[in-house]
Amino acid sequence: MPVHLPPISRREFVKRVVLAGLGASLAPTVWAARRGETTWALMADTHIAADPLQIARGVNMAQHLETASREILGLAGLPAGAFILGDCALHSGEVEDYRTLVKLLEPLRSAGLPVHLALGNHDQRDHFRSVFKPGGIFAKAKLTQHVAVLRTGPVNWFVLDSLERTLQTPGLLGGEQLAWLAEMLDAHRKKPAIVVMHHNPNSANVTTGLKDTEQLLAILRPRRHVKAWVFGHTHVWRVETDSSGLHLVNLPPVAYVFRQGMPSGWVHARVSEEGMRLELRCIDRTHPAQGQTVELPWRTA
Ligand SMILES: [Fe+2]
């Protein structure tokens, strides 16, 4: 079941698309699809609390999201959409956390931006659904997780759900979701694919990320049209490229960092058929990493 918040002014249009039953296991085609380059606001780990005044680790999370939203809306060209890649809620995914998040996202949606949401280990699926149901898009899908394919101009985005259990740090996609992904990737070979979710890849030294990392990489690496895996979870901004040429993009948290001096913020992504250019936008504009850019050419098909 995909979870997207449509632009507020287009809600009725989107509802009609869903009711028409277009793509039982797919998200409705993305709005604002254009040929050529598109830009996106990539966010993760908003950790929104029910009380917008709440502070955690010295940070007012609601204020951070408002700062990011204001900056996104102040861009010369409005992005085609925004992503929040999990840990939408502060700690245990309470219903009131999501109610506050909905309010905080109103400025983006009112400006015409669809917001695409993924779930993290600090989210709770049933609570999330209970809040987003009225205004969101819920299409019938075989999977119980929130998955989606967003077909856009230059690339297709594959939104995965790595939440295994609320408040359990590592994540899991599971066999059914992996099989769904393989099937969907094979059905969308003509354009570059970007896979997004909350959890980061596990490795020999990292076991707090995605438990079925190896199974996922076995699907992504040989499918040369898959160009990048974008995630949050670690609260650390980092971009790497593996030996197969697959880009691994770890988004910074919108909310708080775990180590002093790390940047919190969001990433402005310019995406084309040739590659992706990322620009880090820090909540603290005086942070030394503010404006850092990374060019990520796509590996050859
Ligand atoms: Fe987080």
Give the CATH number of the domain where residue 208 resides.
3.60.21.10
Looking at the chain, list the stretches that DSSP marks H as alpha helix, in order from N- to C-terminal side: 11-19, 61-73, 95-110, 125-132, 175-187, 213-220
Contact between 245 and 299 under an 8 Å Cβ cutoff? The reply is yes
What is the reported pLDDT for 19?
27
Q: For residue 44, how far is its CA from the centre of ligand 1 (angstroms)?
A: 8
Q: For residue 47, how far is its CA from the centre of ligand 1 (angstroms)?
A: 7
Amino acid found at 218:
A
What is the reported pLDDT for 3?
55
Q: Domain tally for the chain?
A: 1
Angstrom distance (rounded) from CA 71 to CA 226:
30
Q: For residue 169, how far is its CA from the centre of ligand 1 (angstroms)?
A: 9
Contact between 200 and 231 under an 8 Å Cβ cutoff? The reply is yes
Angstrom distance (rounded) from CA 223 to CA 191:
12
Phi, psi at 239, each rounded to 5°: -130, 130
Each residue's pLDDT tens digit in the chain (301 positions)? 345 677 776 544 333 322 222 222 223 333 333 358 999 999 999 999 999 999 999 999 999 999 999 999 999 999 999 999 999 999 999 999 999 999 999 999 999 999 999 999 999 999 998 898 644 443 445 678 888 889 998 999 999 999 999 999 999 999 999 999 999 999 999 999 999 999 999 999 999 999 999 999 999 999 999 999 999 999 999 999 999 999 999 999 999 999 999 999 999 999 999 999 999 999 999 999 999 999 999 999 8
Contact between 89 and 95 under an 8 Å Cβ cutoff? The reply is no
Q: For residue 235, how far is its CA from the centre of ligand 1 (angstroms)?
A: 6
Closest CA to 137 of 231, 13, 9: 13
Cα angle for residues 108, 276, 256 (degrees, 5° grid): 50
The range of the structural domain enclosing residue 77 comes to 4-297
Q: For residue 70, how far is its CA from the centre of ligand 1 (angstroms)?
A: 22
- Enter the tokens of residue 51: 């009380």
Q: For residue 126, how far is its CA from the centre of ligand 1 (angstroms)?
A: 19
Q: For residue 63, how far is its CA from the centre of ligand 1 (angstroms)?
A: 16
